[in-house]
Amino acid sequence: MKIIGSFVSPYVRKVLVCMELKGLDYEVDPITPFFGNDEFRRMSPLCRIPVLIDDGLVLTDSTVIAEYLDEAFPDPPLMPKDPKQRAKARWLEEFADTRLGDVFIWGLFYPKMVHPRVWGEPGDPDRIERSLTTEIPAALDYLEAELPDDGFLFGDMGLADISIASFFRNAAYTGFSPDPSRWPRVARLVERVLAHPAFEKIHRFEMIQLNTSIEGRRQALQEAGASLTVETYGQREPRKGVMRL
């Protein structure tokens, strides 16, 4: 199986952690969507990552990919068996992908890190301020009331835990972490999930991707033990696409 997408993406990270939990073999083409070539844009019409390629099957949404992996490789399961818990897990994953994605990625990570690094221009300081003072606290207040006092959400670590924690990794790259005095349940869950060996393995490659030039990135990742595709769907110059910027 091949995964197209940067190790730093929370959506790519979610899928890779699921694959690690299931012990699956995979290769990564670690590109950001901005650097995707025409063939990448044909496979991913919304110009988003990750893209999964598995024996002719092409999927371009992290939730769809995770559900496929759980159905095709059911052990260990990513979702609880109880219908009510399963529905709750689906909702919390959706909340993470949409609301946490909006406030942490579009409202914080992109304007603080992607805009200056990729486009050479400053991000929107008003959006950053609104995210930090209003939008992120409101999202975390909601999560605090939904999370358990201890442990994972539904027994063993599953898709909902992975989805939630993944966005806090990107938030940490901007200098944000949940205040344990205000959001103790959030802080405990995030710390517990991100400390899992599957997350730690991916984190090593993320740090290389963040701190290495584009020219030397593939070699550095391979030297660190990342399993990369031979060919890439990337190109040298970035292009803006369908995604909001």
Answer whether CATH 3.40.50.300 is correct for domain 83-194.
no
- Taking residues 229-237, what's their average pLDDT? 85
**Residue pair 170/104 in contact by the 8 Å Cβ criterion:** yes
In this prediction, residue 245 has a pLDDT band, given cuts at 50, 70 and 90, of very low
Tell me, what's the pLDDT at 239? 65
**Residue pair 152/192 in contact by the 8 Å Cβ criterion:** yes
Of residues 56 and 213, more confidence is placed in 56
Chain segment 167-205, per-residue pLDDT in tens? 999 999 999 999 999 999 999 999 999 999 999 999 999
The string over 106-141, giving b where at least 16 C-beta atoms fall within 10 Å of a residue's C-beta and e elsewhere, is bbbbbbbbbbeeeeeeebeeebbeebbeebbbebbe
- Token pair, residue 171, equals 């938030």
- Taking residues 200-222, what's their average pLDDT? 91
137 Cβ contact partners less than 8 Å away, ≥ 6 residues apart: none
Tell me, what's the pLDDT at 240? 64
Of residues 93 and 119, more confidence is placed in 93
Chain segment 77-109, per-residue pLDDT in tens? 999 999 999 999 999 999 999 999 999 999 999
SS3 4: strand
Residue 244 has pLDDT above 60, yes or no: no
pTM: 0.93
Query: What does pLDDT average to over the chain?
Result: 93
Domain residue extents for the chain: 83-194
